[in-house]
Amino acid sequence: NAGVTQTPKFQVLKTGQSMTLQCAQDMNHEYMSWYRQDPGMGLRLIHYSVGAGITDQGEVPNGYNVSRSTTEDFPLRLLSAAPSQTSVYFCASSRDGYNEQFFGPGTRLTVL
């Protein structure tokens, strides 16, 4: 089992560019989520999904889109990157929304 994988590990964007952060899990988990981590603020939930075709907003959803077409994949899209989106992004998955979440290694994103 690879667990939760994320690509890329590092990314630098210019303001206004778009990109997709990839997340995949091989544990057949129904629940997947995206967080951003900023110094002194812990992790904040961006979007989550309770199964294929079902997504919902978390605490800080503005500027981000998600979709869930398969159980395994949960990509995060930045349509027009802004410097405020400079952060470390973590994807996580869980059997359901009540259990332990398994985290990926993270993507460090810098927006210039």
Partner 1 sequence: AQSVTQPDIHITVSEGASLELRCNYSYGATPYLFWYVQSPGQGLQLLLKYFSGDTLVQGIKGFEAEFKRSQSSFNLRKPSVHWSDAAEYFCAALMEYGNKLVFGAGTILRVKS
Binding residues for partner 1 (CB under 8 A) = 4, 31, 33, 35, 40-45, 48, 50, 56, 58-59, 90, 92, 96-98, 100-101, 103-106
User: DSSP of 55-95, one letter per residue?
Assistant: EEE-S--TTEEE--SSSSB--EEESS--GGG-EEEEEEEES
**Least Å from the CB of residue 16 to partner 1:** 29
3-class SS at 108?
Answer: strand
**Least Å from the CB of residue 33 to partner 1:** 7
**Least Å from the CB of residue 79 to partner 1:** 23
Among residues 85, 49, 89, the alpha carbon closest in space to that of 69 is found at 49
Identity of the residue, 92 or 111, whose beta carbon is nearer to partner 1 in the bound complex: 92
